[in-house]
Amino acid sequence: MSKAAFRFPALQSHDPDSLGGFRLVARLGEGGMGQVFLALSPGGQPAAVKVIRNEFARDAEFGQRFAREVSAAQKVRGAHLAPLLDADPQAERPWLATTYVAGPSLRDLVVEHGPLPAGQVTLLAWGIAHALADIHAAKVVHRDLKPGNIILDESGPKVIDFGIVKSLTQSVTYTSHSTRIGTPLYMSPEQAAGRAVGAASDVFALGSTLYFLATGREAFAAENEWAVAHRVVADTPDVSVIAPPLRQLIAACLHKDPDQRPTPVRVRKWCEEELGDVLGPGAWMGITGARAAIQERTGALRALTAPDAVAASTVSPDQPDSPSVTADNVGGKTPTIRPVASPAPAAVPDPQKPPTQGSKPTALATVGGVIATHVTEILLAAAALLGASLLPFMSETWKEKSSGTQVAHVTEAFNWHHPWEAVPSGIPGVATTWQVIPVGIIGTAAGLVFAALFLLKLASDHDLKMWGRAAGGICAVWIFVFALIGLVVLAMTFGLEPSDDNPAYTDRGAYMPGGWLLLLANGLMAHALSRTQGYLKRRPAGTA
């Protein structure tokens, strides 16, 4: 039996047509915060519009608290966040709009496909830690991080609903047990005990989230919420089932003492060290089940929002056999989807086609730009190297140490026919430093070859990546050696006169046009290497 196509639940008769300029087109779910709609912004950007429940709106103090939290959350920006677009905390039914992320929640992936491999969990941990670092940098605490509040699209995990839980939990009129804000299974000990909550609380929730991704089980599961809270405060989950070194990371995040937990920045750096070159183009789409789930949602969204789209093909009517989604991504219960067979499945986007208008540049386009810049700098360096080999490279001047009288002056250049032939100084017993020239020219030429091969680190094949890494290491060693030699000659060019091998003379070298061009060639090579390596270190897949 074929799998039912993904479809958005249709709007109901009592649902509004628009809110604050956002045109509502479908329902996304309902949770502890309120009803969530799929909408289009005035500029056509897909958004998730969340309408706060009436019990919050009736609280006289809620609007003020909520407005402060929304104002703070609007300042948060990051590659792994779904940012706030707009909000009206003072409306009769307060609402807020965030960027819609067309992908599954991490809970959906695990529920459907089972525990994820340790490498994929580490990759996701990198992206989530990146998001938490951005949130905390804006002096905001998430307070409800969990797998259902993390959505995965082609550019990585996106954390949603950050910074707006505190106002809801403090609402004095909010007493509904069935829609309680917050998730005990992912609370920190200090949060469960009612103590002050800070950034370290989000790290504990990160540990519980990673535990779920790696095992398919909740770290502190129990029969009821009170038992869960007790386990969160008093028990330590069994991490022996998780392979090291991920085991050590999760255990550190789940430390009962907030001061002993790693910061998100430390978690991110740890993940980078473990992942190495895995943080490459398309890495996120390699996560189990991600590609198909993202394509389903993207295809349904495209068909729903396209001009003259037939709504029935992507929006399910409100009937018993239609999909029903509860919005865990707004702080409520675990989302459940009841699929319905569809005779006309929603279109699934062709992965070979370019992204739709309004989407971020793909990782492939970013890599193309990196390659083009790298190759351009290597070619410019090669041109400078050719000029260095054809023009006078350096001069050497000898003076008597006792009188300061100049006794010899030699201009040296690269000898294409006999590169290792010594250049005489004209002074008996005194040699030139001619070796610097062929070593510099030939070494730079070899360095440029290895610098070009360094681009193999961008390949998807592991063996090619290893060759690229080795080439980059060799190139870096050459640049370091040349820098040492070049600094000495540069110092002499600007006045340093060290003693010669013959103690009766001082020898001062000075760069000529060829020498300056060789410095330029190595500078361009170093910049190309550094730029590309910097991209490899900092890129989350699909971001630039």
Look at residue 40 in the predicted model and tell me its pLDDT: 93
Mean pLDDT of the chain: 81
What is the band of 333 on the pLDDT scale with cuts at 50, 70, 90?
A: very low
Q: Which residue has the higher pLDDT, 171 or 9?
A: 9
Model pTM? 0.57
For residue 365, pLDDT beyond 50? no
Residues that are catalytic: 144
Q: At a CB cut-off of 8 Å and minimum separation 6, what does 389 contact? A: 414, 416, 441, 514
- The whole-number average pLDDT for the span 479-504 is 79
Separation between Cα atoms, residue 475 and residue 531, nearest integer Å: 14
What is the band of 538 on the pLDDT scale with cuts at 50, 70, 90?
A: low
Cα three-residue angle 291-294-297, rounded to 5 degrees = 145
Was 158 annotated as part of a binding site? no
For strands 315-316 and 8-9, give the pairing.
parallel
Rounded to the nearest angstrom, the gap between the alpha carbon of residue 523 and the centroid of all alpha carbons in its chain is 28
CB burial of residue 393 (10 Å; 0-12, 13-18, 19+): buried
For residue 151, pLDDT beyond 70? yes
Look at residue 270 in the predicted model and tell me its pLDDT: 94
Look at residue 336 in the predicted model and tell me its pLDDT: 38
Q: What element of type H or E holds 510?
A: strand 505-511
Look at residue 212 in the predicted model and tell me its pLDDT: 97
Q: Above pLDDT 70, what percent of the chain?
A: 81
Q: Which residue has the higher pLDDT, 137 or 66?
A: 137
Q: Which residue has the higher pLDDT, 501 or 406?
A: 406
- The whole-number average pLDDT for the span 188-216 is 94
Give the residue among 377, 369, 416, 359 at the shortest CA–CA distance from 393. Answer: 416
Look at residue 303 in the predicted model and tell me its pLDDT: 85
Q: Which residue has the tokens 């993940």?
A: 271
Task: Flag the least confident range among 179-193, 375-389, 428-442.
Answer: 179-193
Separation between Cα atoms, residue 305 and residue 40, nearest integer Å: 8
Separation between Cα atoms, residue 287 and residue 157, nearest integer Å: 11
Direct distance between the N- and C-terminal alpha carbons of the chain, in angstroms, rounded to an integer? 41
Q: What element of type H or E holds 30?
A: strand 22-30
Total Cβ atoms within 10 A of residue 483: 15
Total Cβ atoms within 10 A of residue 14: 5
- The whole-number average pLDDT for the span 288-294 is 94
Q: How many residues does the chain have?
A: 544
- The whole-number average pLDDT for the span 232-255 is 94
Separation between Cα atoms, residue 244 and residue 214, nearest integer Å: 12
Task: Flag the least confident range among 110-119, 189-198, 458-467, 482-491.
Answer: 458-467
For residue 131, pLDDT beyond 50? yes
Separation between Cα atoms, residue 50 and residue 96, nearest integer Å: 5
Q: Which residue has the higher pLDDT, 336 or 221?
A: 221
CB burial of residue 377 (10 Å; 0-12, 13-18, 19+): buried
Separation between Cα atoms, residue 178 and residue 191, nearest integer Å: 20
For residue 318, pLDDT beyond 50? no
Look at residue 502 in the predicted model and tell me its pLDDT: 63
For residue 158, pLDDT beyond 90? yes
- The whole-number average pLDDT for the span 107-119 is 95
Amino acid at 109: L
Look at residue 172 in the predicted model and tell me its pLDDT: 35
Give the residue among 359, 251, 370, 309 at the shortest CA–CA distance from 7. Answer: 309
Q: Above pLDDT 90, what percent of the chain?
A: 44
Kindly report, residue by residue over 348-357, the tens digit of the pLDDT: 344 334 444 3
Q: Which residue has the tokens 């804006």?
A: 138
Helix boundaries (H) for 161-263: 165-169, 189-192, 199-215, 225-234, 246-253
Give the residue among 125, 158, 195 at the shortest CA–CA distance from 543. Answer: 158
Look at residue 77 in the predicted model and tell me its pLDDT: 87
Give the residue among 323, 468, 445 at the shortest CA–CA distance from 381. Answer: 445
What is the band of 100 on the pLDDT scale with cuts at 50, 70, 90?
A: very high
Q: Which residue has the tokens 């599961």?
A: 221
Look at residue 498 in the predicted model and tell me its pLDDT: 65
For residue 330, pLDDT beyond 60? no
- The whole-number average pLDDT for the span 287-299 is 93
Kindly report, residue by residue over 248-283, the tens digit of the pLDDT: 999 999 999 999 999 999 999 999 999 987 877 688
Look at residue 208 in the predicted model and tell me its pLDDT: 97
Look at residue 429 in the predicted model and tell me its pLDDT: 74
Kindly report, residue by residue over 11-45, the tens digit of the pLDDT: 999 889 999 899 999 998 876 668 899 999 988 89
- The whole-number average pLDDT for the span 38-63 is 83
DSSP summary character for residue 45 = -
Q: What element of type H or E holds 439?
A: helix 436-453
Are 370 and 535 in contact by the 8 Å Cβ rule? The answer is yes
For residue 380, pLDDT beyond 80? yes
